[in-house]
Copies of this chain bind each other. A is one copy, B any other.
Amino acid sequence: MKLPDNSLSQKQVSHSGRLRILDEAERLFRTRGYNAVTMRDIAREVGIRQASLYYHFPSKEQLFVAVTEQMFERHRTGLQQAIDDAGDELRSQLHAAGGWFLSQPPIHFLSMFHNDMPSLGEDNIKRLAICSQQCVFEPLRQTFIEAQQRGEIRHTPPESLTGFFLSVIESIPFVLTGSDAVSGKVVVDEMISVLLDGLKPQVERD
């Protein structure tokens, strides 16, 4: 099974079968989690029978892995692009990163690690852990490191800052449940302001 070679003429008007499945599965897995979504649910959304999914993917687990890698990969390119286009100031870079995440459906990292991944085989757990690390964590970590090298913020473990940033992003859908008088953008902007004020370089005034 290779990539479908592109000699397909008008076969895929918008979506080949495989891509439709990936898209619908991603939406369902994201909103309800791996265990709560059945192959029947996915098939229903795609408009085929449950057994037909097994022509494209050998198992529910492999489908989930494919879906999740696709999603992380999309975040890697989108996030990197957003940061690169945002100039060379940490503040604008963080706003760009925040804007990127707000433009996408939430990843639900914590749920994924806590609920979904334990249902997978060990190899796939490791694989997805590495993938998330490289696609989402690493670009942000690098951004903080460079800001520290430029002296824009004081020295604090960049892993902590990345966790800090992402945990706020991830909790936005949750925070907004209470009072929807606030939008995600506002919460992220507040967070970035607090973060940057709190990380001002330790000048020896005072």
Q: Which of B115, B170, B174, B194 contacts A115 (CB 8 A)?
A: B115
**Residue pair B187, A198 in contact (C-beta under 8 Å):** no
Q: Assess the A157–B190 pair: CB atoms within 8 A.
A: yes
Most chain B CB neighbours (cut-off 10 Å) among A108, A178, A196, A200: A178
A14 near B: Cβ within 8 Å? no
Contact residues in B for A35 (Cβ distance below 8 Å): 33, 35-36, 115
| A159–B129 alpha-carbon span in the complex (Å) | 31
Query: Within 8 Å CB of A133, what residues of B?
Result: 178
Q: Are A170 and B36 in contact (CB under 8 A)?
A: no
Chain B nearest CB from A33 CB (Å) reads 5
Stretch from A47-55, A69-77, A78-86, A161-169 forming part of the interface with B: A161-169
Chain A residues touching B, range: 35 or more
Collect the chain B residues with CB atoms within 8 Å of residue A2's CB.
Answer: none
Chain B residue numbers with a CB within 8 Å of A171 are 110, 163, 166-167, 170
- The answer for the CA separation of A118 and B152 in the assembled complex, in Å, is 43
CB distance from A199 to the nearest CB of B (A): 6
Q: Is the CB of A118 within 8 A of B194?
A: no
Are B190 and A156 in touch, CB under 8 angstroms? yes
Q: A108-B110, A194-B199 are in contact. Are A187 and B170 (CB under 8 A)?
A: no
Can you list 13 A-B contacts with CB-CB less than 8 angstroms, sorted by A residue number? A108-B114, A109-B174, A111-B111, A115-B115, A159-B175, A159-B179, A163-B168, A163-B171, A163-B175, A163-B187, A164-B194, A168-B168, A194-B195
User: Which residues on A are within 8 Å of B, measured CB to CB?
Assistant: 32-33, 35-36, 108-111, 113-115, 118-119, 129, 133, 137, 156-157, 159-160, 163-164, 166-168, 170-171, 174-175, 177-179, 182, 187, 190-191, 193-200
